[in-house]
Structure 1
Amino acid sequence: MIEATSCGGVVIFRGKILLLYKNYKHRYDGWVLPKGTVEAGEEYKETALREVKEETNVAASIIKYVGKSQYTFNTPNDTVVKDVHWYLMMADSYHSKPQKEEYFVDSGYYKYHEAYHMLKFSNEKQILEKAYSEYLDLKRSNLWGSHKYF
């Protein structure tokens, strides 16, 4: 068994959530949240910001840590257990550009209920629920977008 760690973001701009559509040789396709593997010497926050930037071309800011999800998958030689650390992030525009080299063919911002139903994986839906709840709490407290929480 191999253990792996990734980090990603639930990126929000004006109440909408950033999603990516991945299509890998028609074997893997669906809407996902941006995330990727931790590189040597990198802190989790750095990984999350880098991966969001690489996969979507969005320069986001981390607001807060929202939790960890875990899943397993099989490779030809082994089983991989992956932990993913998630951050609530804020973007400063609706602009995004999917990273073609990673088989992302579309990206965009969607209303919460749309994003929730579009996401392919249940563990990402759970993280979206938690992150969006945190976003709403910050918004109700007039803290979203004010930099008071940095």
Structure 2
Amino acid sequence: MDYTPRGTDRPCVFCAIVAGRSPAHVVLRTEGVIAFLDTHPLFPGHVLLVPTLHVQTHDDLPLALAEEWLRSSQRLQRAVEAATGSEGALLIVNNVVSQSVPHVHQHVIPRTRGDGLRLWLGPRGRYRDDAEAAEVAARVRAALPADA
């Protein structure tokens, strides 16, 4: 599929890479996933992991592909750290909001203490009290879909 299910008529750039119509510096390819260097990396070695099947969001990733996705993510994290001499890695999956390409992808970003990356996850706050936290937790539990 070259188009996203949310109605855009823009071709999917990741599907073009999967199909070989667009160039990429591929570091891993299997039947189910492909990983390649980000063209605008935060740091050298910043890799994107993408399913070869066009899937827009994390929650649409087929469970049959989830094990390969996780295994590949772990392999990539270790490889990126080793190849770049980094101390760790930042793993990010944006889902709709801040998702610049509407094809699910995980960023594997090499990190070293003092590398200058400032991640602002705010505004952050506290629950008013334990009762409010319990009520929010109960709403989330109630909204959980049945295990598939």
Q: What is the TM-score normalised by the length of structure 1?
A: 0.30
**Bigger Rg, which one:** 2
Q: What is the TM-score normalised by the length of structure 2?
A: 0.30
